[in-house]
Structures are given as C-alpha cells and as structure tokens.
Amino acid sequence: MNRIDEHPQFGHHLSEAIADGIVIVDETGVIRHVNRRLANLTGYSREEMIDQDIDVLIPGRFRDPHVAHLSTYVAHSKSRKMGSSGNFTLQCRDGSEIDVDIALSPFEIDDKKWVTATIRDGRSQRVRERSHDDVEQRFRLAFESNMAPMMFHDHENRVIAVNDAFCLMIGRTRDELVGLDSTAYTHPEDLGITEATHDRLTSGEVSQARYVKRYLHKDGRVVVVEVFKAPARDAVGNTLYYVLSQRDITEERALTEQLSHQALHDPLTGLANRALFDDRLSQALARAARFGDLGAVLLLDLDDFKGVNDTYGHVVGDQLLRSVVQRLEEITRTSDTLCRFGGDEFLYLAEALDSPDQAHQLAQRVLRTFAQPFAVAGTFLQLGVSIGIVLWDGPGTSTTEVIQNADIALYEAKRQGKSRSVFFTANMQLNAMSRFALTQQLRHALHSGDLEMHYQPIMDLRTSEVVGFEALMRWQHAERGWVPPSVFIALAEENELILEIGLFALRESIEALTRWDTKSAHAHRPFVTVNLSLRQFHDSELVPTIANALSTSGLEPSRLILEITESVTLLEIGETLNVIERLKALGIAIALDDFGTGYSSLSYLTLLQPKIIKIDQSFVSPAHESVHNHTLLEAIVSLGRNLNMIVIAEGIETESQLERLRQMGCDLGQGHLFSRAMRIDDLKELVDENRGHWAGSNYQLRLTD
C-alpha cells in the first residue's frame, strides 16, 4: 500500500491528532465514534459514549428541539462551518454544561448516512469576546470622558470622531467638526502645520509626531495647543486611522512669555534690560564683523535726577522716568533698541547707520526731546540729559568695550558741562585709565599719610593780624610731584572717596585748632574754615560726625567754620536749610564760598543767612582791571556789611588790592600777599607770635551771636 490515506488506521490517527472533540453519529443519532479530546472534554470514557444516543451529550431542555433538527438535517444534510449553526451547549458526565461551537460534516458509506461533528470548547472564545468588548468599552469611556481633548482623523486628515473635551476647548459641537479637516478652526498663521505633519506620518518618515499650533475658538480667542499624533494599526500593521491627543497650553505659554518678558525687560519702564541689550548688541557686532555695518551706542544719563528724588520722593521720580521713556520711544527707530541701563541711565542701540553724522543727529533729537519740561505730579520739571556716543564698523569690538567706551564719552560730556553729547575717542580712554590709576593712588595716599592739610592765614585787613586759617588739602605724589586739588578733589567727587577725604580734613583741622589753644582765659583763639564738598554736605552722617568730633576734642564749635559753595545749596534747598540749621544748633558758622560767581547768590543769601561770605578771587585779582569790576567788588563788600556778615576777600596778591579793600571796608582777607598755605609745623613761628593775643575779638563775637 503506497498511499497513507488508504491505510486502515489512518482515520483513527487523524481523529486523535485533531485538537477539537470529534463525534461520528449515524442517521438515527447513535454515537459510533468519539476521539480522546471529546472524552476529556465531557468526562465520559469512549466506551461509555459509543452506541449511546447523541442526546446523552445534550441538556434535557434542548433534546426535543435537537431530535427535530437532527431528522431535518439528515434528510437535507450539508456541511456547516464552525459556529455557523449558532452556539451550542454540551452536557458533561457530571451534569455540568459547556458552551461549545460545532461544525457538521455529513458523509455516506455503503449507502448509509453519517455525520461528523467537530466540537470546540467555546469558553475561551467567549472570554476573548467579552474581553474585547470590555476593552472597547473602556477605550470608548476613556475617549469620551477624558479630560484631554482627543480626536480621530482618517487618511485624508478629516475628523472621524472628537470627545467632549476637544469640543469644549474650541467651542464647537461634534456635528460642526466631524467630516472637516482642521483648516476651519486653525489660526491662519499656522495653516499647513497639521498637513505637513500628516504627510510625514503617511509617508513613514516618522512613526509619531508632537507639535504646537494655534486654534481659533468659536468666540475668536486664540487657543495654543500641544498635539501628539500617531497612527492606529491593525494586526498586520496597516493604518486604520490617526489618534490625536491634545493639551491646551494657552495659559502656560502666556505665563512663559510673561516670565521671559520679565527676565529681559525693566519692570518700571518696560524697556529692554541689560541682559536683552547685551544680546542685541552682540548680534549687531556680529553683523558688523561680517558685513562692515556702521552702528552706535548712545549712553544717556539724566542730569541732576537725584535732586528730583530727594525733593519730591521716589514715586515722583519713577513717574518722571516713565515720562522720559515715553518721549524717548517716540523718537526710537523701529530697528533700534532702547534699554534702561540702571537708575537714570539709558542705552540706545542704533544699527545700520549711513554715517557718524547720523548718530550725531540721533543724539540731537534726544537733546531736543528734553527741551520742554515734564509735567509730573501736578508740577513741571525741567530735566537735562548728557550723552556719550561710541561708534563701530567692524570686528574686534566686544559688548563690554562698547559700553565702557560709551561711559567714558558720557563722563566727558558731564565734565564739559552736561546737557550735551560727546563722541568717544581713543584719547578719552587713555585719560580714563589715567584717572582710574590716579584714583587708586589717591586712595593709597589717604591711608598711607601722603595727604596732608596746609593752612593759609586769614588776616584782619585793618591790623594785618591773624584771625584764623583756611584748611587746604595738599598731595605730593611720589612721581608727579604736587597734584593740584582741582584734579584730585574732582576725582574723589566721582566716588565715595570724597567722604573719606572730607572726614580726614575735618579731623585734621580740629586737631590743628587744639594745638593752637592758649591757657589764657581772655585770649581769643583762631578759627579754621574747612571746605565741604557737595556729596559730603548731603551725607546723612555729616552732622553726627562733626558733633562727635567736637565732643571728643572739647573744641569750641564757633572756631570751626564750614565753607559751602552755591552748587551745594542749589541741589535741594529744603535739605540744605535743614542741614545748616542743625549745624548752627551745634554752634558752627557757615561761610558761603566763591560768592559772586553764581547766578542766584543774592536770592540765596536771605535763605541761607551765612555768617561769612567769601568774595571770589576773580573779583579781587581780576585778569584785567576795570571800573566795572571795581564797582562790583565794592557792591559785594557793601552788601555783606549791610547784612552784618563778615566779608573775606580771597586771592589778595598786591598792596594796591589790599589798600582798595581796606578803603571799601572789607573785614578780612587772605592771599599770597600775606602767606601761602603751609604745613602746621611751618606755621609754628606765626602761631607763637600770636599766641596769647590773637586778633579779632570782634569777629569771634560776630561768629557766635
């Protein structure tokens, strides 16, 4: 026998190899064959089932319908696939029941009809079906009730389904969305984002995508969303549809932009801050290095802004700054950047200039902007601005260098008289380096004892006797020699060093006065005048420091006279008068120095009421003698006498000048005609000559009344 299917045992082996249960019944429904799988499934042995009616495997409630069905089937038999006749229930030996699927296959042997029933345990299939239903139900629940906006797209990028969260997010219903693509509710500037992403997914370039776009809410609001899109595939990998999960990040994006703006902008004025300006300047310098563009930075500093804060307070000062910014923004080109550099300083970045003259024109526009007063807090405030300008047109310049050079140019503008613009030059940088080095050396000189006080005698012009001294600071530099006070005092004024130098002058002068004391109870002692700088006069520690020094030394307060200039009083008259009253309460007299050189000295005399006015040497020793000058000098002396003020003439150089002042009735004087300023030790002989009979008792009384 060459064919396996002709072997007598082939059918038996095939039946046993099948994983499903097999039962063969004759046309009367009697079981003629079962396989091992069916025996295991039902709990019967094969011997117990053979020759039994098929009803033994059918629950009693189904037997009558089954008999009718069997007779009909035998008469009109045909194959039925698994499950095509519906689900069946199989009864086991122990009475339990099993849901099964049955496939029927009729055949004939020797004119007899037979039916093979293939029986499959349906329980696992039911479980799978129920599991599938559960999964589908859970997925639908997760989709419909998800707080995250979700939607399905088809292959043409049209909406198949959306959930409630998505509808709520853009203010549209399902009916308005299903069947449409996203064009209808996408921000016009973001059209194409979804399409481009969809093309990448369909082409297989990416397996999933994440992107940000903007939708338009039905009420017109812009909604910023983060979208995650991925294909849903079948068992063999074919794309069924696309799932989109979205997140509304509108508030998050707004907060991020707000924080970013705060990090890069000044909170008071809304202008770019230093960090943003540095970035813009760095980019501008990079472009200039590549293309040779000409650019400029203008550093603006408001003149005397501190006086506004001191007079009206910081609230008004802030309002003034905002008003200044409003004017500056009106003249700022759209291509330029305006920055608040700090305090009352601003940076202006001008790019793509045609020539240096264009930068000059920008500066002139800024200056003209300040020509009109600012209306703030019910008053009009006139404010000036000084401008330092630096240009660049190629590589080799850093942001730090540009701003430093602009600052150097600004210093020069301030030095030249404020309310003007100055271009940076290389010589300015050299001068700045020299000033910095000299400032460091001055600081060292103060602490090493190289600074010292010299004293110039103040004489009674009628008797030529000494009544006091003016304390003058001197600095002999190891390499430069004598450095003029006009140089090093101006340097000290630029920083806090002036306060240290001023305190040094006060202490040294008080020490000198104590050395010139006499034991005679009736002798009059000399006074010393000490110059106060603007910053020193307005230092909150000035009055307490002087009071402590007088208390420690035991010095009579009337012997210490403090000289102030008109520039000191002009800064803030209210504060000035307050300080003067506190000094007068200590018993200290005030002298108004350089009288006659300021434009408002006469009006200030009635407010300040100084004990002494010192006539500037430009009136005493003019470069060119004239009747006009003589008349002015005589008027100043007469004014002082009529106001019962002591008048001191400075810079007396000749006998004729001395005689003229005597004839005018001037009280006191000083100058090289009498003596230059000397160290305290060099004055010993002069002091000894006058010890015990100091002149000027009349002046002492006038200083203390």
pLDDT, tens only, 645-663: 999 999 999 999 999 999 9
First to last CA, the chain: 154
Q: Which of 119-128, 167-176, 571-580 has the lowest mean pLDDT?
A: 119-128
Q: How far apart are CA 385 and CA 299, in angstroms?
A: 10
**pLDDT at res. 491:** 86
Q: How far apart are CA 552 and CA 589, in angstroms?
A: 19
The arithmetic mean of pLDDT across residues 456-471, rounded, is: 91
Residue 204: phi, psi to the nearest 5? 85, 5
Closest CA to 658 of 633, 690, 677, 678: 633
The number of beta carbons lying within 10 Å of the beta carbon of residue 331 is: 14
CA angle 205, 209, 215 (to 5 degrees): 130
CA angle 645, 648, 653 (to 5 degrees): 160
Q: Which of 124-138, 243-257, 380-394 has the lowest mean pLDDT?
A: 124-138
**pLDDT at res. 135:** 55
**pLDDT at res. 137:** 63
The arithmetic mean of pLDDT across residues 250-275, rounded, is: 80
pLDDT, tens only, 346-363: 999 999 898 999 999 999
173-182 burial, b if ≥16 CB within 10 A, otherwise e?
A: eeebbeeebb
User: Sign of dihedral through CA atoms 186, 188, 193, 194?
Assistant: positive
Helix axis angle, 655-664 relative to 627-642, nearest 10°? 50
Cβ atoms of 502 and 493 closer than 8 Å: no
Q: What domains appear along the chain, each with residue ranges and CATH number?
A: 4-123 (3.30.450.20), 146-254 (3.30.450.20), 276-424 (3.30.70.270), 439-704 (3.20.20.450)
User: Which is higher by pLDDT, 693 or 136?
Assistant: 136
Is 205 strand, coil or helix? Answer: coil
The pTM of the full predicted model, rounded to 2 decimals, is 0.54
For the beta sheet containing 150-153, the strands, ordered from the edge strand earlier in sequence to the opposite edge, are 159-162, 150-153, 239-248, 222-233, 209-216
Q: What is the pairing mode between strands 239-248 and 150-153?
A: antiparallel
Rg (the chain; Cα; Å): 53
The arithmetic mean of pLDDT across residues 418-440, rounded, is: 86
On average, the pLDDT of the chain sits at 84
Q: How far apart are CA 636 and CA 38, in angstroms?
A: 138
Cβ atoms of 446 and 460 closer than 8 Å: no
Cα pseudo-dihedral 8, 10, 11, 13, rounded to 10:
130
Closest CA to 468 of 525, 512, 425: 525
pLDDT, tens only, 399-415: 889 999 999 999 899 98
The arithmetic mean of pLDDT across residues 220-227, rounded, is: 91
pLDDT at 228 over 70: yes
**pLDDT at res. 695:** 45
Q: How far apart are CA 573 and CA 605, in angstroms?
A: 12
pLDDT at 522 over 50: no
The arithmetic mean of pLDDT across residues 299-309, rounded, is: 89
Three-state helix/strand/coil letters over 451-480: EEEEEEEEEECCCCEEEEEEEEEEEEECCC
Q: Which of 500-509, 644-653, 689-698 has the lowest mean pLDDT?
A: 689-698
pLDDT at 450 over 80: yes
The number of beta carbons lying within 10 Å of the beta carbon of residue 368 is: 10
pLDDT at 6 over 80: no
Q: How far apart are CA 611 and CA 335, in angstroms?
A: 59
pLDDT at 14 over 70: no
| Run of H or E residues at 250 | helix 250-264
Q: What is the pairing mode between strands 465-477 and 421-423?
A: unpaired
Percent of the chain whose pLDDT exceeds 70: 85
pLDDT at 625 over 90: no
Q: How far apart are CA 438 and CA 456, in angstroms?
A: 26
**pLDDT at res. 649:** 95
